[in-house]
Amino acid sequence: MPSSFTAQNRLEEQNPGENLNTWGSRLNANTTALIDFAISGYTALTLSGAIALTSANGAADQARSAILDFTSGAGGTVAIPGVSHVYQVRNATSGDVVFTTGSGTTATVEPGSFATVVCDGTNCYRFADAADIAACLSAAEVYAQGLAFSSSSGQLPGQAGNAGAFLTTNGLTANWAPGLPNQTGQAGALLATNGSAASWSTGVSSSLANVSTSLAGVSTSLAAQSGQGAAWFTQSQASGTAGPDTGGPSAWTGRSINTTGLNTIGGASLASSQIVLPAGTYEADIVTVFNDTNTSSDGRKARLRNITDAATALVSPQGYQGGALNDNIALKGLFTIAAAKTFQIQNWAANGYGGGVAASSGEVEIYLSAIFRKFA
């Protein structure tokens, strides 16, 4: 009669009288070696998806392994024969390794875990690994500490009557410190202590209101400052070049402005010798330079003209000069406009004027300088 095989590990069982003169080699190869592998055999596998462990009667296979080492992959499902067996498992993949017989419960070994997986022929079970043991030890420690805390009145103070208190120690003896006072109805209060007991202090709401008011004031101030800025415009010529402007006798005539030195006022601009300023309050600091067109002495003035409204915003003190000499007229003051306006800087001379005589110093010739500071 032919040989049969054991149910669990598929070892060859020879019938009496079979395999004359070859039974020794068959026993070694098909039984003894396979028993050895079932006890200590190691199989390394890559797992990404689903696999079924190989299973063979009287021959080497994967399912008979004692140790399964999943060395790489994304993890997956491992189908094993529906017979009782014990596996020592290492999961070095990036996902779960799930053992199944195709029916019954499954056993999962998480990434980075070592575990014992047992099959009873239908169900798979995962026994404790290092993480499970650590969790059990942690739980046991918590339990032991709680037990000691409640019973060791000679080393730890008893808990009765100390609800809400804090545990303190002087390094030798543990004691209870009073807990926080009742919080009901104390919204916005501050916690204070006299060195022995804690209590709630009042008046915080008004203090916070004052702080809020102060912050609001700062915010308003910052908002106001965000609208500030300055602008500087000039009439500039190369060294040795006379001023280009002229004006007839006793006539207000606009001065040319050709250079923007600085402008940090949003909405301010210079075009065609006219200055546009947005709504706000301004300080102006303007100097005009011009010369008489003849040798007569005469009166001279400057003004800042609101072209949009045909009105004068600022006018200078009067000047008086004799001969064909340069005269500097200062025009300073404050003004407020409720909307954007266009301005022109104008000069007046009783006998007419020229744009100014050059200094020829090697530096740029400046015949007009106008600075506007916006502060509201």
Query: Alpha-carbon distance 293 to 291, whole Å?
Result: 6
For residue 71, the model assigns a pLDDT of: 97
For residue 256, the model assigns a pLDDT of: 96
For residue 203, the model assigns a pLDDT of: 52
Containing 45, the helix (H) or strand (E) segment is strand 42-52
For residue 93, the model assigns a pLDDT of: 97
The pair of structure tokens assigned to 230 is: 């300055």
For 184, the 3-state DSSP assignment is: coil
For residue 295, the model assigns a pLDDT of: 59
For residue 137, the model assigns a pLDDT of: 74
For residue 136, the model assigns a pLDDT of: 63
For 145, the 3-state DSSP assignment is: helix
For residue 69, the model assigns a pLDDT of: 97
Q: Which residues of the chain have pLDDT under 70?
A: 1, 17, 20-21, 128-132, 135-136, 139, 143-156, 195-196, 202-227, 293-297, 321-324
For residue 116, the model assigns a pLDDT of: 94
User: 72 near 50, Cβ under 8 Å?
Assistant: no
Query: Alpha-carbon distance 43 to 65, whole Å?
Result: 6
Please spell the DSSP secondary structure of 191-208, one letter per residue: EEE-SS-EEEE--HHHHH
Question: Whole-model pTM?
Answer: 0.43
Query: Alpha-carbon distance 90 to 298, whole Å?
Result: 108
User: 89 near 124, Cβ under 8 Å?
Assistant: no
For residue 128, the model assigns a pLDDT of: 67
For residue 281, the model assigns a pLDDT of: 96
Helices (H), the chain: 23-27, 33-40, 130-151, 204-225
Please spell the DSSP secondary structure of 293-324, one letter per residue: SSS--EEEEEEEEETTTTEEEEEPPPEEE-SS
Q: How many CB atoms lie within 10 A of CB 300?
A: 22
Query: Alpha-carbon distance 369 to 49, whole Å?
Result: 82
For residue 26, the model assigns a pLDDT of: 76
